[in-house]
Structures are given as structure tokens and as C-alpha cells.
Amino acid sequence: MKKSAIILVIPITILAFFTLLPASLTAKPISIQAGVCVYPDPELGEKVFVEFPFVVNRNQFTFLPNDSLGDFLLGAVFAEIMLTDLEDRPVDSASIYFLTRAADSVDAANKESRLFNQLLMEIKPGVYKGKLTVLDVVNKNEGSFIYDRLEIEPVVTDHLNLSSIQFAHKISNAGPGENAERSGRVKSGRVIIPNPMGLYKEGDSNLYVYSELYNLAYDSSAPDSFLISYTILDEQSMIYHQYEDLPMAKQGTSSAVSDALNISAFAPGRYTLQLTATDMGSGEADTAGGSFIVFSRQGETPGLVSYQHRFPYDSCGLETKQRLVKYFLAPQEMTMLKGLNDVGKMRFIDQYFSDKDPDPATEINEFLNELFIRYIYANKNFSSLPGQGDGWSRDRGRILMQYGNWDQRDEVLTPAYGKPYEIWKYYKLQGGGVIFVFQDVEGYGDFKLVHSTATGEVFDSEWDYIVRGSDPNLNR
């Protein structure tokens, strides 16, 4: 499915006008909401089309009058994504330069006005890191968003495959005069206003979603269809809401999928959306997942964020802080940490989490909060003995802390043969989804990781045969 490139034509006189202005010495860093959407379209060959949508509040930028263009104020934005490998060697980059305007100073200061855009790349499969930087061209103020780990899976050509789910504030049909190249948000005849971090307010009417489906079994002489199913899970991975299945006629071997799902009655909290596509002709199915948050209308923070006051990081000792970073530090970082004294170690870890803060302009470090909750949950539920407090170091605790909450957890406590086991399923991880199988090998309740399809984890062919044979959705 062909994607739209961003082409912007900016008058040279305007560029010069902004470039000559002095930098501001007192401006705060620009706050950014950003995400990533992966579209493994077989039409592109071996490379994968990746979008980096981002949103910034317009009132963070400086506006100046320019009478030559009209009676309004003008601002200018530069955004760039730098991609590196895990050793910080440059891989690729993309940038965009665009203008924004306000009617007057009151309009420019409007806190509700936001700027939406995205950066586009075609990337070879692999594991990367990324840094998205947004610059105010007028005063040279900037902000950044860090992608710690981007795993781009190889393009699938032999079975049904869903892309990432893109959340949006609004999706509408593009009009006949819609300039796809100019807006950079038109895909498959749809104008998409992205919501890259999936943040919605209590009472918002719709959750807009967009995805793409590839490798449909298509025969133009035999009309056929595929089925789309949406399921909402709550924070405990229990079904919160099930939408009515939607049959769609096939128009080719690929299709765009977009819907407006009613969430107006959803309580504040964190949710997971599971999108399942089923090819009615071949019987194949695939599932993609994505998390979103509904915030309280009164401004109260829901879900994970509210735990900050219950588990204050500042009161943690060095031992706990070292546990929190154990599964995330690169080997050279771990060596550096071990060589420091206790004060240096505390400062090193504090700086590490500060660098991971997705929104430094707020008082809350969402990355740290979520990790802390995983740590507490692991110690409470996965310790070798009740009250032992070592759940974070057991296999299930490590996987929870390193990869986050599962999309689905199947427990088989009384199998016909063998020891009890459980399967954790992550539908979006590493592109096509991965599983982890834990078994109570010794019979004392300490489940060991015996099989996984995740890169770098233990793989067991017998378990792979058992698990995939019991769940057709895993045969991908």
C-alpha cells in the first residue's frame, strides 16, 4: 500500500527571516508526545515503512509578525529523527520543516492548540535506537523524545499480517482537493490526526484507530471478505468491552482498516486494544495490540501515574535503585556503574531515569513510575517464598520488568501431563508478537522460563510445537 511522502516548500526569504533571529536563553525545553508505527508492506520489498508521529503544544513556540504574508503571526518548526544502532553508530535520519500561524498573540498563547506531524523512514529489519528532536526556529529552543529500542521485524509475505495500530484524535475521509504530500497525514484516502501516546480524556466520544492488513487471499473473480474484531482489556488483562465484529469486502491483497470506537462511557484508567483480523477465505488470523489511557475529566491522574505517591522513588535505597536498572543498562554502562562509589552510583542511576523521562516538562516520570509498579508487582507475586522480596530477580519478574505487562496470560495449573505452566503473550512486541512459557520445573511455585519466541531469549522446539499447535493465532 503506497504511503505519502512529506514534501514542504518554504520560501527562502521566510527561512532567512527566522534563521537570523537570536536564541532564547530562558525558554523551557519543548515538551513532545511521540510514538512509532510500523507498516511492513510487502510492496516495499525488504525494507519496512516506519512513521514517527509527534504532537507539540503550539503555545511553546515563539510567533512573530510578517506583514508580507498577511495580517497574522508566524512560527516555524524543525523536527528530526536520528536513528542509530545499539552501539550508537548512525544509521539513518529524516527531517521536516514547517510553518505554523496564529491570528494574534491571544491565539498564539492558546494552551489547547496543538501541532501534529510525523517523520517517515524506510528501514531495514533490525534493532535500533532513535532520538526525535523538535526545534523552535525562532528562538532555537528545542526538546527531544528518546526511543530506547526499536525492533523492526522482517517483512512477512507468506501469511496474514497486521501492521501496528495507530491511535488518532480524528480520522476523516480525504476530500478531492486534499494535498497528501503537503499535509503528510493522508494515508489510504484518510486524513489522520495522530494521538501517538494514546492519551484521551474521560468523556471523549471516540477512540480512532488505523491499521493496515497484508497478504489477504484475494481472487478478483471470487468476491470474499475478512472480519475485524475489537476487544478492550483492562489493567488486569480482563475483557472490559467487546465491539461488534465488522465484515469488510476484500479489494486486493492488502487493506487499510480504520474505525471510530465509542469510549464515551469508559472509566479513567489504562486499557489495551486488541485488533484481530480474520481472512474468511483462508481462515488465517492475526492480532495487533496497543495501550491507551483515559484521563479523569477533573485532571486526576489514572492508573500507573497515581502510584507515584504510593511508591516514591526518592525514598529508595541504592540497592533498590540498582535492581530497577539491572535489566536495562548496556554492558558498558553496567561496568561504569560498578566502578563508582555509592554516591556516584546514586547520581548515575538518577541521571539514567531522568534521561528516560518521556516528558521532562511534567513532574511525573512515566517510565520510572511504570517500572516501579512492575517491580512491586513482581516482588508481591513472583518471589521464591512469601515475603522474600526477590520476585524481581525470578524469571517471571525479569520478563515483566524488561518487557512490560502481557497482553494475555494463560495459566495451566493442572495439566494432563507434566508440571504446571503459564504462557504470556505479547501481541505487538518485536513486530509480529512473541510468547514466553514458564514452567514450575521443581514443583515449588518458582516458574522458570523454558521457551520464548523473543529475540535473545531461550527457545525450545518441543514447547514451540506444543504452544503453536494449541493457538492458531501464534502460527505466524
CATH number at residue 63: 2.60.40.10
212 with 124, same domain? no
11 with 146, same domain? yes
pLDDT of residue 425: 92
Q: pTM surpassing 0.75?
A: no
End position of a domain, from candidates 300, 333, 367: 300
Lowest mean pLDDT among 84-88, 175-179, 235-239, 372-376: 175-179
Average pLDDT on 155-167 reads 93
End position of a domain, from candidates 129, 155, 181: 155
Spatial separation of the C-alpha atoms in residues 35 and 132, rounded to whole Å: 10
pLDDT of residue 10: 40
Average pLDDT on 224-233 reads 92
119 with 81, same domain? yes
What does the pLDDT look like over 26-66, one tens digit per residue?
A: 457 888 989 899 999 999 899 999 999 999 999 999 998 87
Mean pLDDT of the chain: 83
Residue 386 lies in a domain: yes
pLDDT of residue 68: 61
In total, the chain counts a number of residues equal to: 476
pLDDT of residue 335: 82
Spatial separation of the C-alpha atoms in residues 196 and 215, rounded to whole Å: 26
89 with 7, same domain? yes
pLDDT of residue 363: 74
233 with 291, same domain? yes
pLDDT of residue 230: 94
| 178 band by pLDDT with thresholds 50, 70 and 90 | low
In this predicted structure, the answer to whether residue 344 has a pLDDT above a threshold of 70 is yes
Q: Is 174 in contact with 180 (CB distance < 8 Å)?
A: yes
Percent residues over pLDDT 90 in the chain: 37
pLDDT of residue 361: 81
Q: Which of 170, 177, 211, 209 is nearest to 191 (CA)?
A: 170
Q: How many CB atoms lie within 10 A of CB 244?
A: 6
| Distances in whole angstroms, Cα of residue 251 to Cα of each of 175, 193, 248 | 21, 25, 9
338 with 423, same domain? no
Residue 288 lies in a domain: yes
Percent residues over pLDDT 70 in the chain: 85
436 with 316, same domain? no
Average pLDDT on 231-258 reads 89
Q: How many CB atoms lie within 10 A of CB 44?
A: 15
306 with 363, same domain? yes
| 380 band by pLDDT with thresholds 50, 70 and 90 | confident
| 370 band by pLDDT with thresholds 50, 70 and 90 | confident
273 with 325, same domain? no
In this predicted structure, the answer to whether residue 8 has a pLDDT above a threshold of 70 is no
pLDDT of residue 414: 77
Residue 401 lies in a domain: no
| DSSP secondary structure letter of residue 365 | -
280 with 412, same domain? no
Residue 62 lies in domain: 1-155
In the numeric block, the cell 505487538 is attached to 428
Residue 379 lies in a domain: yes
413 with 371, same domain? no
Q: Is 193 in contact with 171 (CB distance < 8 Å)?
A: yes
In this predicted structure, the answer to whether residue 17 has a pLDDT above a threshold of 60 is no
50 with 172, same domain? no
Residue 140 lies in a domain: yes
Average pLDDT on 148-172 reads 90
End position of a domain, from candidates 342, 376, 396: 396
What does the pLDDT look like over 277-308, one tens digit per residue?
A: 999 988 999 999 888 888 876 544 333 322 33
What does the pLDDT look like over 385-441, one tens digit per residue?
A: 766 778 899 999 999 999 998 988 988 887 777 789 999 999 888 877 899 999 988
pLDDT of residue 306: 29
Residue 215 lies in a domain: yes
How is residue 301 written as a grid cell?
491522574
| Range from 304-308, 341-345, 384-388, 465-469 that averages highest in pLDDT | 341-345
Count of domains forming the chain: 4
Could you write out the DSSP letters of every residue in 317-331?
A: -HHHHHHHHTTTS-H
The one-letter code for the residue type at 75 is G
For residue 190, count CB atoms less than 10 angstroms from its CB and return exposed for 0-12, middle for 13-18, buried for 19 or more.
Answer: middle
Q: Which of 360, 365, 368, 363 is nearest to 31 (CA)?
A: 360
Spatial separation of the C-alpha atoms in residues 181 and 214, rounded to whole Å: 24
For residue 464, count CB atoms less than 10 angstroms from its CB and return exposed for 0-12, middle for 13-18, buried for 19 or more.
Answer: middle
CATH number at residue 227: 2.60.40.3880
